[in-house]
Amino acid sequence: MLSAAAGTAGLLVGRSAFAEAETKKPNILWITSEDNGISWVSCYGGTNAQTPAIDQLAREGFRYKHCFDNAAVCAPTRSCWITGMYAISNGTQPMRSRNKIPHDKIRYYPDLLTKAGYHTSNPGKTDYNIGGRNDKDCWDHKGGKERYGWRTRKAGQPFFAVVNLGDSHESRAHGSVDNPPKDPAKMKLFSYHPDLPVIRKNYAKYAAAVERMDGKVKDTLEALKQDGLYEDTIIIYNSDHGGVMARSKRFLYSSGVHCPLVIRIPEKLKHLYPAARPGMTVDRIVSFVDMPKTWLSLAGAEIPDTFQGTIFLGKGTEPAPKYHLGFRERTDERLDNVRMIRDERFAYHKNYMPFAPAGQHLAYLWKAQATAAWEQHHREGKTNEITGRFFRPRASEEFYDNEADFDNVHNLIDRAEHQQKIAELKKALRRWQLELFDSGLLPEKMRERRAAANGLTIYEMVRDKKLYPLEAYLNAADLALARDRRNLDAFVKWMSHKDEGMRWWAIVGLHLLEKDAAPAAGALDKALKDESHEVRMMAAWILVKLGKAERALACLDELLFSGTTNKDMLHNVLDWMGEPALPLVKKFIEKGGTRKGRYGIGILGRIAQLNGW
């Protein structure tokens, strides 16, 4: 039997150990996998792939039910991660744009961890989509033979280690789908995919890739255990966005942004638990932009005001956000512009380019046989309202009940019972866009030109109301997307506005009016000589649709063969136009115009291919 003195001593030792755990800097291991949303992880209810290592981590830790990526594709997502900022706030949201930011104002979170005494490592993927600094510069261990960066630190030094797993990347779904390692008949398809043998085989091929990724998670955890660090390290696992079959990755639907997030916290750090005990789930919304700020908080590091997220774990935990914000713009050569805001259940999408179908041909996406088979099925007229919608122009707004409709195939935007929630989300979206200085209310090349002309980064330009009157653009965009012919006079008036941004929204509004834009034919004809090539292209497209094709096609011909300030948009517009643009594209190909794009065949090359030129 212990004496009273011994008992008191033991109690003091226990308290001392607890106090030491609270003050000692924790090790942090961040395991990221590429391209798999929650549907591919078995502890989230996925059945196509079995992920025992991640499942075990969830049993030992905490599974977050509402974790969402902000950008749905890798480079803009990683821009959010490294800066702790929404990419739309600093102009790094278009895929592989690598726009510069003011690095003296915006600091990377690994630099701040280093300053706090941490050894940092990321020997794998960076892809931060930011110019002016090498992606690897901010890490202590940048690469080499050692994949587990904590092994390169000084003895006793706390570490922050990133282990990125590419085994589940989209490319693992490319190529032959013959003899997949899993049974295609057992695959559960998203409801927007037609049930075709090749699609089932492609699912089975990718499911096996996810299982290989899970094996790498196990290997990483075993390495940590072998080094005697498992009970001294906070372990985080999440995917870098959703995916990977077509209409998930790159898109703001649930399958593209709803991601697994599992966090294991050692018992000695139980004061950091986000719930009562391991094995429990956590309901709060976590956005990817929250992560770097949270890692800094856990490490006791400095958190500059530029970090825009919310701390969701540890002593510094902040109140849970009410909403998650997502955004989509150009991916590779394909243009789009979408904003999405959601709570745990409902999501509102605003399509700023609704004339662009979601399912535009994208060379990299089409490397998966399932995508090509789906498109061919649609071209043969065999898709229905749900399986064919991906390839059609979109509504200006979408609203989904993600609890009842995870696949987001039933747009409830006009349902009376949801109007209050829709109004709430629209109001919150606008407030957020203003607070973040959303840089996406001008076409990509237009905003780049304006920033360059003023010797500024896009980050700096959008914070100058004279150069970027965001509130006026938001108002104009709302009128344009309303498709209300009562706004015709306003659009015609804006066509003479000195700001090409206002002329852009005028031309979008006129385009969406379809035949009701006919009274604006004079203004549209004049716009064929607009200083903004973006306005010219759209004016030409509208005039062609109104049956006034001669001068319009001549305008597009001049842009195609004499040069344009926005080649990507021109090629997209020619594709969106379809049949009337075919002679121009054929002429371009016959004159030796390139068929190549960023990751294979380009937009005009694809048109030529489909027409046998």
Whether the pLDDT of residue 4 is over 60: the answer is no
- Please give the Cα distance from 205 to 175 (Å, whole number): 10
- Please give the Cα distance from 291 to 234 (Å, whole number): 14
pLDDT at residue 339, rounded to an integer: 98
Q: Which residues lie below 8 Å from residue 529, measured CB to CB, with a gap of 6+?
A: 536
- Please give the Cα distance from 408 to 137 (Å, whole number): 40
Check the CA dihedral 367-370-374-379 and report its sign.
positive
Q: Are 214 and 54 in contact (CB under 8 A)?
A: yes
Of the listed ranges 7-11, 125-129, 203-207, the one predicted with least confidence? 7-11
- Please give the Cα distance from 305 to 277 (Å, whole number): 33
pLDDT at residue 525, rounded to an integer: 98
Q: pLDDT per residue over 525-564, tens digit each?
A: 999 999 999 999 999 999 999 999 999 999 999 999 999 9
- Please give the Cα distance from 295 to 301 (Å, whole number): 9
pLDDT (mean) for 327-334: 97
pLDDT at residue 22, rounded to an integer: 62
Q: Which residues lie below 8 Å from residue 459, measured CB to CB, with a gap of 6+?
A: 89, 90, 91, 101, 102, 105, 106, 439
Q: How many residues does the chain have?
A: 613
Whether the pLDDT of residue 15 is over 50: the answer is no
CA dihedral 17, 18, 23, 24 (to 10 degrees): 50
- Please give the Cα distance from 132 to 90 (Å, whole number): 13
CA atoms within 13 A on the CB side of 407: 14
- Please give the Cα distance from 157 to 301 (Å, whole number): 15
For the beta carbon of residue 572, count every other beta carbon within 10 angstroms. 22
Q: pLDDT per residue over 266-323, tens digit each?
A: 999 999 999 999 999 999 999 999 999 999 999 999 999 999 999 999 999 999 999 9
Q: pLDDT per residue over 48-99, tens digit each?
A: 999 999 999 999 999 999 999 999 999 999 999 999 999 999 999 999 999 9
Q: Are 259 and 238 in contact (CB under 8 A)?
A: yes
Q: Are 45 and 281 in contact (CB under 8 A)?
A: no
pLDDT (mean) for 492-505: 98
Residue with token string 């745990």: 344
pLDDT at residue 23, rounded to an integer: 65
- pTM confidence score: 0.95
Q: Which residues lie below 8 Å from residue 172, measured CB to CB, with a gap of 6+?
A: 205, 206, 209, 244
Least Cα distance to 219 among 393, 52, 462 occurs for 52
Range 607-612, long-range pairs (CB < 8 A, 24+ positions): 607/574, 607/575, 607/582, 611/582, 611/586
- Element housing 315 (H / E): none
Distances (CA, A) of 70 to 86, 251, 304, 426, 586: 8, 10, 21, 17, 39
Whether the pLDDT of residue 7 is over 80: the answer is no
Share of the chain above pLDDT 70, in %: 96
pLDDT at residue 68, rounded to an integer: 98
Whether the pLDDT of residue 368 is over 90: the answer is yes
Q: Rounded to the nearest 10 degrees, what angle do helices 470-482 and 419-436 cross at?
A: 150
Whether a cis peptide bond, with omega within 30° of 0, leads into 244 is yes
| pLDDT band at residue 9 under the 50/70/90 scheme | very low
34: amino acid identity, one letter:
E
Sorted by where each begins, the domain ranges of the chain are: 24-320, 437-577
For residues 234 and 597, which has the higher predicted lDDT (pLDDT)?
234
Please give the CATH superfamily to which domain 24-320 belongs: Alkaline Phosphatase, subunit A (3.40.720.10)
pLDDT at residue 24, rounded to an integer: 87
